[in-house]
């Protein structure tokens, strides 16, 4: 299978975000053997959501592109701001949330691990 160079501007990708829920939108950017990458946006939401996700066979790498919010992992909350980079090992329950005033946008990459 031949793969070609793909270049996407963040501003363009943000206009193509697909709605998952009232809170979450995303745009896939690249996919290959063992990885997927894209942008994911979290909008401010009232009330805490206790639901966390975990990926059985994938590490999560993400970089905060814009906005502020938090990452909750292992009963710990980490403040997020532009320029923050996160690595979440496979099997680790986690969730993200936007701050009260602005959308949180992350570049993410899910990398298959063994």
Q: Where are the domains of the chain?
A: 10-112
pLDDT value at residue 4: 79
Structure confidence at residue 1 (pLDDT) = 54
At residue 20, φ and ψ (nearest 5 deg) are: -100, -40
Distance, CA of 35 to CA of 69 (rounded, Å): 25
**What is the spatial distance between Cα 19 and Cα 66, in angstroms, rounded to a whole number?**
18
Q: Which residues of 37-48 are buried (b: 16+ CB within 10 A; e: fewer)?
A: bbbbbbbeeeee
Q: Which CATH class is domain 10-112?
A: mainly beta
Phi-psi sector, 82: left (phi>0), alpha (psi -120 to 50), beta:
beta
Model confidence, pTM: 0.89
Count the neighbouring beta carbons within 10 Å of the beta carbon of residue 105: 22
pLDDT, tens digit only, all 114 positions of the chain: 567 788 888 889 999 999 999 999 999 999 988 999 999 999 998 776 678 889 999 999 999 999 999 999 988 999 999 999 999 999 999 999 999 988 999 999 999 997
Q: What pLDDT score does 97 carry? A: 94
């Amino acid at each position: 299978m031949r793969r070609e160079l793909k270049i996407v501007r963040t501003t363009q990708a943000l206009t193509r975000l697909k709605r998952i829920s009232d809170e979450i939108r995303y745009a896939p950017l690249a996919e290959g053997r063992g990885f997927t990458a894209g942008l994911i946006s979290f909008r401010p939401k009232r009330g805490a959501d206790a639901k966390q996700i975990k990926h059985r066979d994938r590490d999560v790498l993400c970089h905060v592109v814009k906005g502020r919010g938090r990452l909750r992992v292992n009963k710990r909350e980490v403040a997020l701001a532009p320029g923050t980079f996160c690595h979440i090992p496979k099997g680790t329950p986690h969730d993200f949330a936007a701050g009260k005033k602005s959308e949180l946008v992350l570049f993410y990459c899910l990398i298959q691990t063994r």
